[in-house]
Amino acid sequence: MSLDLAPRPLPLLTADLAGTGGVARVAPEDFLVEELPAYLPGGAGEHLYLFIEKRGLSTVDAVGRLAHALGADPREAGYAGQKDRHAIARQWVSLHTPARAPALDDPSLKILAEGRHTNRIRLGHLKGNRFLLTLRETVPDAVSRAQAILDALGQTGLANFYGEQRFGRRGDNAALGAALLGLGSHPDLARAKRDRHLRRLAISALQSELFNRCLTDRIAAGLWDRVLAGDVLRKRLTGGLFVCDDAAANQERLRSGEIDVAGPMPGHRERLRARGEALAREERVLAEAGVSREAFAAAKGEGEGAWRAYRAPVQNAAVRAGGAGAVELSFELPGGSYATRVLAEVTKADVTLPGGA
């Protein structure tokens, strides 16, 4: 059996606004991401918190170097998320050690601040990320075009798609995830069955592709920013989820930014399920992909169900002209949202950056 689970082109919310064109990430300095932490170190505790700046390194590699310098166990290290290798990235990491920050002579890794805390940093423990991105070789009126697009996204929010990085260099991670569920075949299936990391990556990619297709369906139907009776809704401040039983009242809450409609990351266990028209739309999209919720039982513990907001707020956005005709964009996104989707809206071109930004 062969399923078509390759990532599909993603729709743009600002298709009616002209893009800037241009080239992204000519140099690492063209892509700067700085983590907005959920909290700062309290000042005491058994975990050393380090605010680092890295370039040309993955977060895992950076943590490994720090652990080696401190004689700490990298398995007890913590970070809120992995940052792009091909960029300048600033983020907090934690190590379980009584030592102080090590002295480093490493052009690819700097320590900007340190502190101590009672617990290690957990994945997802961040408010968001601040981005400063430079576009080069843009059209002459790129600044005004970019400003109009970012203003529009500030009003509507960003369609919270997973970026292409999620699906692997060959774009076939979701197909591997389906093969692990007994749906189709894949040349890496035997290896994935032995490799838990690869298995989790593939199942997650499949969930992400199904989410993207559900969001695409809502946009195509003009429903991406509309609340349907039976929708799963997410509170923006706390992340709490509930099923909508009053579409009109919750539409006002969505308009104010208090809540967002959430889309499914189908899995073997779902603590919440949409109802009515919302559920029917999801089930149709999954059926067209050839993947049922029940199929995830074959994941054997991987791929627990979850919900992700269909839109992400774009905050504190600004545009300015850079040197040599470049355009600089700055904005903030929630953790887990992709700056490449903002770049796609701004440039009106496919933009793929290595890593997970």
> At residue 109, what are phi and psi to the nearest 5 degrees?
-150, 120
DSSP string, 198-254: HHHHHHHHHHHHHHHHHHHHHHHTT-TT---TT-EEEETTT--EEE-S-HHHHHHHH
Residue with tokens 């920050």: 101
Please determine, for residue 301, whether its predicted confidence score (pLDDT) is greater than 80: no
Please determine, for residue 314, whether its predicted confidence score (pLDDT) is greater than 60: yes
What lies within 8 Å, CB to CB, of 53 at 6+ separation is: 88, 89, 90, 109, 110, 112
What is the three-class DSSP state of 31? strand
Catalytic residue list contains 84: yes
CATH entry, 161-309, from 3.40.50.300, 3.30.450.20, 3.30.2340.10, 3.40.50.10540: 3.30.2340.10
Write out pLDDT tens, residues 188-213.
Answer: 999 999 998 899 999 999 999 999 99
Q: Which two tokens stand for residue 163?
A: 């970026």
What integer pLDDT is reported at residue 351 of this predicted model? 57
Residue with tokens 């380090």: 50
Quick one: CATH architecture of 39-124? 2-Layer Sandwich (3.30)
Taking alpha carbons only, the member of 171, 65, 170 closest to residue 111 is: 65
Write out pLDDT tens, residues 145-157.
Answer: 999 999 999 999 9
Amino acid residing at 297: A
What integer pLDDT is reported at residue 357 of this predicted model? 46
Residues forming CATH 3.30.2350.20 domain(s) in the chain: 39-124
Write out pLDDT tens, residues 18-69.
Answer: 999 999 888 888 999 999 999 999 999 999 999 999 998 999 999 999 999 9
324: confidence class by pLDDT, cuts 50, 70, 90: confident
Query: Mean pLDDT of all residues in the chain?
Result: 92
Residues forming CATH 3.30.2340.10 domain(s) in the chain: 161-309
Catalytic, out of 4, 16, 30, 84: 84
CA-to-CA separations, 66 to 55, 70, 105, in angstroms, rounded: 14, 6, 12
